[in-house]
Amino acid sequence: MNHLSMKKIAAALLLLAVCATSGLAADNSLKLVSKAEKEVTVTRDGKKEAKLVPVEKALPGEVVLFTNHYTNTGSTPAEEAAITNPVPQHMVYVDGSAFGAGTTITFSVDKGKTFDLPANLTKTVKGKKRPARADEYTNIRWTFTSPLPPGKEGDVGFKARLK
């Protein structure tokens, strides 16, 4: 293969990539719906039970449950899927609260530049490296361990406390 043909192939690949992006913008097959809820205690038939209610207002110190509901609305499997969610401003992640079936959950302490398992995360303060605390997590990522077939839906989520 000579030098010229290499260039041609590269150009062709680039074109393909552009087409792929523009083509998909209209055809997103993974749908993501977020909601925020908090736990309240209600009395029903004389029994106290915890219930989740939508939250629009919160007080400092309150814990909010954020849930992202995903659905593959397309006709092909979504592969190498991952959902990321920044910990909202003015809030701190509640340790151990992230959940998501069929996912590996990793966290970032550098605003989403890098992600890792909690045990591997470190924070450098005044030149000293130490394990990162949960309240220092800035972003959460759920990486699906297998492709999501058409019609597949589920929830991933976490809790955060308002500062």
Partner 1 sequence: MKKLYSLFGAVAVVLACAGGAHAKGTAAGTLISDKATANFTIGTQAATATSNTVTITVAQIVNVTVSWLDGSNVAVASPSTNQVLTFKVTNTGNGPDTFALGVNDSVAGGNFNPTAATQTFWVDTNGDGKFDAGDTQVVAPIPLNADQSATVFVLNNIPSGQADGNTGISQLLATSSFGPGAVGQVKTGAGTGGVDVVLAILNGQGTANGIYQVNGVVLTINKSSAVKDPYNGTEPVPGATITYTLQVSVSGSGTAKGVTITDPLPANITYKSGTLTLNGTTLTDVKDADTGDVGGTTPNAVTVTLGDLTSASGTKTITFQVTIN
Is residue 157 within 8 A of residue 68, CB to CB? The reply is yes
146 binds partner 1 (CB under 8 A): no
Find, among 12, 31, 28, 14, the residue nearest to 155 by Cα: 31
Q: Is 33 one of the binding residues for partner 1 (CB under 8 A)?
A: yes
Q: Show contacts with partner 1 in window 90-129 (CB under 8 A).
A: 90-91
Which residue lies nearer to partner 1 by CB, 122 or 146?
146
Of 63, 84, 102, 135, the residue at the interface with partner 1 (CB under 8 A) is 84
Of 13, 82, 101, 117, the one binding partner 1 by CB under 8 A: 82
- The Cα–Cα gap between 161 and 6 comes to 54
Binding flag, residue 18, partner 1 (CB under 8 A):
no
Please write down the long-range contacts of 125-134, taking CB distance under 8 Å and 24 or more positions apart.
132/107, 134/92, 134/93, 134/94, 134/95, 134/96
Residue 122 has what DSSP assignment? E
Interacting residue ranges for partner 1, rule: CB under 8 A: 20-21, 23-24, 28-36, 55-61, 64, 66, 68, 70, 74, 76-86, 88-91, 148, 162-163
